Every structure is written in C-alpha cells, then in structure tokens.
Amino acid sequence: MEQVRACSLTSLAAVYLILAVSPAISDMTDSFERMWGNTQVLYNSTGHQIMSLTLDRWTTSAFRSKSLYLFGRFDMDIKLVPKDSAGTVTTIYMITEGPWQYHDEIDLEFLGNTTGEPYTLHTNIYAKGKGGREKQYRLWFDPTEDFNTYSIIWNPHNIIILVNGKPIRRVKNKMRDDYPFPLFQPMRLYASIWNADEWATQGGRIKTDWSQAPFTAFFRNHRAIACVPYKTAWICGQNSSDSSWFSQELDEDGQQKMKDVDIKYKIYDYCTDTWRLTDGLPKQCVAE
C-alpha cells in the first residue's frame, strides 16, 4: 500500500507541480507586496532594498509574499525596534488562505521590551486549525543594533526555526501517529508590526509608551528556496540544484545546539505549563 501511495504521489508531482527556486538574494519588491499602514521601501548605500514597517497609535503595517509556497527554506534579515519597544510585536509568519478553522501557520513573533531588557522570540505552530504550541526564547544578542537572520525550514519531515543559522526549535511530522502537521496547504509569508500590550511585555504588565512612537522595524535580504504549487497538488519534487532543505533534518550537532538554546535561553514551553496541563501532557509535545 505504501509503495502504491509513493508511486501515485510521484506521478502527481511530475504532472501538477513546478519548483520555483530563488537561491539568490533579490530586491524585496520582487517577492513582496505592501499591504497596509506605513510600509516603505528604502535603499541602503549599495542600492539594495530594505522594507520598513512602522507602528503608531493609529495604524499597524504589513507586507506579504506575492507567491504561495508549499515547503521551502525562507531567510530574512531583520533589525528590530530599538529602545523602549514594550507592547509592540514584530512578526514574520507563514499562513494558509483557506477556512480559518482548518488553517496552518508558522509564527515567529518578536515581543518588545523596556530599555535594557532582552527581546523575546515567541514561536507557535498551527496545523488543521489547532495551535497552542507556544515556546519562547530570550534572544542572546541585541537584535536592534544590526540585522540578524531568522529562518524557517519547512519540509514534509519537519519544521526547523533558526536564528543566525542556529536551530532553536524543531517540530517533527508525526501525522502517522495522528499528530497534526502542516503538510497539504500552501502558505504565504507575511511580516507585520502591531500593538499587543495586553500580553506582549511581561504578560501585559508593561504597556506601550506611545510617546516613544513611531516604532519601526527593518527587513532585508529575503531569500526563498521553495516550491510553488501548481493548481491543487501538494507534493514537491526535488529537481533543483539546491534542494537539500527538502529532506533536511537535524544532525547530532544541530540537535546539541538546539539543546543548548533550550537550557540557556528558553523561558516558556507549553509542554511544561502546569497551569494549562489540567488534562495531561498535550499529544503534540511528542512531535517536538
């Protein structure tokens, strides 16, 4: 049965899918479209594009990818809001466009801080409309001084989130054990900035100081090596010169680096939240 299934999927890939590969860094407007708010396209001293997102008391800002993707590696350089950014949330995330109750999503949310405090990276995964899989990490550097690279690797085997090339989180595909995983639905890449002072900084105890506004984050050097689905097919081929991401998993060195991050910088894990675990350990924890 598994052999028949594999053959049918291979045929489907050959007939219905193309592989879109963008291994080189391109202008931001080649890949993204502005959505709302104060979203601007700037140029650095070398003529390369930078997109900025600004938040003030009246409006949020966002942009999104022109393409939908079904698996890929996505890298983005981000320079976060400096100084007192309490209450603000800067995000990059991937999300489907189908019915909300069945949506898939991969979230990286950067929670603002008071001056001198570290930024928090809040991560979450949704599959088939089910989320609640939050993990949070203190960034071990000042993400406002310069650009740093944040990456999502999404393939049929797992989701890996990296910071400056260092893996911090992995979610394995355990669908055979009936654990939901984003597998069938294409997703679009978004970036946004918005106010969430009811929860973002110290659980909502620190509110947004609007006298510090406007709050601006900068994005550059987007790189996508990804599958763009054609029609409704979901499986992706490997006819690319750079397709290592399609089967990438964590080797022993990567697993050790992730463990080191857990020990030193992880500050919240839904799998150990005793306030939420009234019905026992969530089954998704097994897929982490």
143-200: per-residue pLDDT in tens? Answer: 999 999 999 999 999 999 999 999 999 999 998 888 899 998 999 999 999 999 999 9
Asked whether the predicted pLDDT for residue 36 surpasses 80, the reply is yes
Rounded to an integer, what distance in angstroms lies between the CA atom of residue 113 and that of residue 87? 7
Asked whether the predicted pLDDT for residue 235 surpasses 80, the reply is no
Rounded to an integer, what distance in angstroms lies between the CA atom of residue 73 and that of residue 154? 6
Residue with tokens 């650095």: 44
| pLDDT of the residue at 13 | 37
- pLDDT > 70: percent of the chain: 86
Strands 105-111 and 215-229: unpaired
Mean pLDDT (the chain, rounded): 87
**Amino acid found at 61:** S
Reduced to 3 states (helix: H, G, I; strand: E, B; else coil), residue 92 is: strand
Measuring CA to CA, which residue among 207, 161, 193, 163 is closest to residue 81? 193
Beta bridge partners of 91: 109, 192
What's the whole-number mean pLDDT along residues 209-233?
88
| pLDDT of the residue at 224 | 92
Measuring CA to CA, which residue among 30, 11, 34, 14 is closest to residue 22? 30
Give me the count of residues in the chain.
288
| pLDDT of the residue at 176 | 86
**If pLDDT is split at 50, 70 and 90, which confidence band does 48 have?**
very high
Contact 111, 208 (CB under 8 A): no
Measuring CA to CA, which residue among 282, 254, 252 is closest to residue 269? 282
Asked whether the predicted pLDDT for residue 232 surpasses 90, the reply is no
What is residue 86's DSSP assignment? T
Asked whether the predicted pLDDT for residue 105 surpasses 70, the reply is yes
Measuring CA to CA, which residue among 100, 104, 283 is closest to residue 184? 104
pTM: 0.89
**If pLDDT is split at 50, 70 and 90, which confidence band does 2 have?**
very low
For residue 94, give both structure tokens.
């991937």
Asked whether the predicted pLDDT for residue 20 surpasses 70, the reply is no
Q: Which residues are catalytic?
A: 105, 109
Asked whether the predicted pLDDT for residue 30 surpasses 60, the reply is yes
